[in-house]
Amino acid sequence: MSRLKDKYALITGATSGIGLETARQFLAEGAKVAITGRNAEALQEAGGLLGNEAILIQSDAGKLDDQRALAERLGHVWPRLDIAFLNAGDVTHRPLEDWDEQTYDNLMATNLKGPFFLLQVLLPLLANPASVILCGSVSARIGLPQSSAYAASKAGLLSLARTLSGEWIQRGIRVNGLSPGPTTTPALQKLGLKDEELDALAAEIRQLVPIGRMGTSLELAKAAVFLASDESSFVVGTELLVDGGVGNL
């Protein structure tokens, strides 16, 4: 398959789950791919799973110096950037009364501030045409308990997809949001919850899904391929929900 043939694609937060599967699908569709991750060991493991075909860049999505270094690295190795899928995220969930300023700041840095400034430094590299995909969440549309800060950060990111579309459309850059619903990924283990709290939340999440099951990383990756490809050339400033009906039914 060659839906992304000869395109240069960046995927942040791609050491597991949706990001890793999207990297796999982008490569299968002919793209040249660079992935990022905070953890060097996890990044190397992901590279091995991708057959050592991807460029591996250690980068913390919440640190602005890392965003500048990432853009500089890509500018040295690639002539342009056709696709950017900003997928890295902090998925911390907790009751409002348990939040502290540092945890809140860390989440917002990773989910909103970091992506904002990464897009700023990537702009000179983005081709005409180019596709930017921001990973939102159906949580921005519903009232899931313990998701207050996370949902707020994703709502901000999805708003950014709309506003930057208006700002960049004359440059040929399409910006869209891709919002997963409940998806089976390792991120569920990173919510900062105790085992019994995680089990209760997972059961509550499953009850939210009209289709009756959780989604898969492959289903989200296939949606990302569509938004990255020329097949979605008339899709601009919107949010693609891949959520089993959670946000609308």
**Which active-site residues does the annotation give?**
150
Nearest to 140 by CA among 11, 22, 239: 239
Q: Which of 132, 138, 164, 168 is nearest to 150 (CA)?
A: 138
Beta bridge pairs of residue 160: none
> What is the DSSP secondary-structure string of the chain?
--TTTT-EEEEES-SSHHHHHHHHHHHHTT-EEEEEES-HHHHHHHHHHTTT-SEEEE--TT-HHHHHHHHHHHHHH-S-EEEEEE---------GGG--HHHHHHHHIIIIIHHHHHHHHHGGGEEEEEEEEEE--GGGTS--TT-HHHHHHHHHHHHHHHHHHHHHGGGTEEEEEEEE-SB-SGGGGGS---HHHHHHHHHHHHHH-TTSS-B-HHHHHHHHHHHHSGGGTT--S-EEEESTTTTT-
CB of 8 closer than 8 Å to CB of 32: yes
230: which 2 tokens? 């020329």
Gap between the Cα atoms of 93 and 96, Å rounded = 9
